[in-house]
């Protein structure tokens, strides 16, 4: 039970951490699938918002991504700026905030951002510090530079994401990409039941316009989810080994008991005890010993 609890608990923790970054299902343009940056915008329409009214959907947030370079006097780091909107799911991500807060997005543009503890240490940034980030555009050789102020530091424990992402106002990306305020890079959808992720993804794919794709996080990050599937095999392997070891120990204990009590068996047979009765005595004794072992092993 202890092994199963650890394995399942670790699986759920990793799933929750990945979904806190990207939701469970991503709605994106096909052109954006192979890029870390949001290239083509999605127009927010009433028809699209109606698609997101499924009962199994818990929350929908609009975001955009753009790759950049954070520089300091001594070093630089490649980063991905995640532009968040006022519909950002603050509740689910608040568990990973170490200091400060995630910036609150309003109608006014803000330069406040939340960075990871990794980036904080690498660039030597703390709450209240300011830094410059250069963003590159494929249509222009001149980088877009933005100045940001750190108001929050987070740590999810997933280094692949912590090493790259920082969070700020989506309006920066909209301005750099020359998008309108009703255009975003992606929709990230949170669902109530992870077990339904595949069926919900298919349903969203069928209901959204033909230029949009619906991708589950298990499809976007197959290396992570294939890895945690191995936990199930490890759990099965542990249980099989435990059964074999326990079975061997029980058989050995019964044989030793019978050999030790061979004289008693002879006496019982001379007194007229049947073979079934003698066998029942040793089976009862074996069950008693097994019960004690199970009690000590599980409690």
Q: What is the pTM of this model?
A: 0.77
> Does residue 196 register a pLDDT over 80?
yes
The pLDDT confidence band at residue 283, using thresholds 50, 70 and 90, is: confident
Phi, psi of 211 (to 5 degrees): -85, 0
How far, in Å, CA of 279 to CA of 282, rounded? 5
Best CA proximity match to 290, nearest among 236, 238, 244, 254 = 254
The string of DSSP codes covering 190-206 is: EES-GGGHHHHHHHHHH
Give the residue carrying structure tokens 């490649």: 78
Instruction: Please state the rounded mean pLDDT for residues 181-210.
Output: 92
pLDDT tens-place string over residues 10-44: 788 888 899 999 999 999 988 766 678 888 899 98
pLDDT tens-place string over residues 54-102: 889 999 999 999 999 998 777 788 999 999 999 999 999 988 999 999 9
Mean per-residue pLDDT of the chain: 86
pLDDT tens-place string over residues 232-256: 777 778 778 878 887 787 778 777 7
> Does residue 297 register a pLDDT over 90?
no
């Amino acid at each position: 039970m202890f092994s199963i609890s650890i394995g399942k608990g670790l699986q759920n923790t990793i799933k929750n951490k990945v979904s806190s970054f990207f939701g469970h299902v991503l709605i994106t343009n096909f052109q954006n699938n192979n890029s870390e940056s949001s290239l083509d915008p999605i127009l927010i329409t009433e028809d699209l918002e109606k698609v997101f009214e499924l009962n199994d959907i818990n929350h929908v947030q609009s975001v955009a991504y753009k790759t950049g370079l954070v520089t300091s006097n001594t070093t630089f780091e490649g980063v991905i700026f995640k532009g968040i909107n006022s519909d950002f799911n603050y509740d689910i991500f608040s568990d990973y905030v170490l200091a400060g807060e995630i910036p609150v997005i309003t109608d006014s543009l803000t330069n406040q951002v939340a960075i990871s503890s990794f980036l904080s240490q690498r660039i030597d940034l703390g709450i209240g510090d300011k830094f410059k980030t250069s963003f590159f555009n494929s249509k222009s050789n001149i980088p877009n530079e933005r100045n940001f102020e750190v108001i929050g530091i987070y740590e999810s424990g997933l280094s692949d994401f912590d090493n790259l992402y920082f969070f700020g106002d989506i309006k920066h990306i909209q301005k750099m990409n020359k998008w309108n305020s009703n255009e975003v890079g992606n929709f990230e959808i949170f669902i109530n039941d992870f077990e339904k992720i595949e069926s919900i993804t298919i349903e969203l794919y069928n209901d959204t316009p033909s230029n949009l794709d619906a991708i589950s996080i298990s499809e976007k990050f197959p290396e992570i989810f294939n890895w945690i599937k191995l936990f199930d095999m490890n759990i099965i392997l542990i249980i099989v080994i435990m059964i074999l070891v326990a079975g061997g120990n029980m058989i050995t204990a019964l044989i030793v008991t019978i050999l030790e009590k061979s004289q008693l068996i002879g006496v019982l047979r001379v007194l007229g005890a049947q073979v079934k009765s003698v066998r029942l005595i040793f089976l009862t004794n074996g069950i008693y010993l097994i019960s004690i072992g199970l009690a000590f092993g599980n409690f």
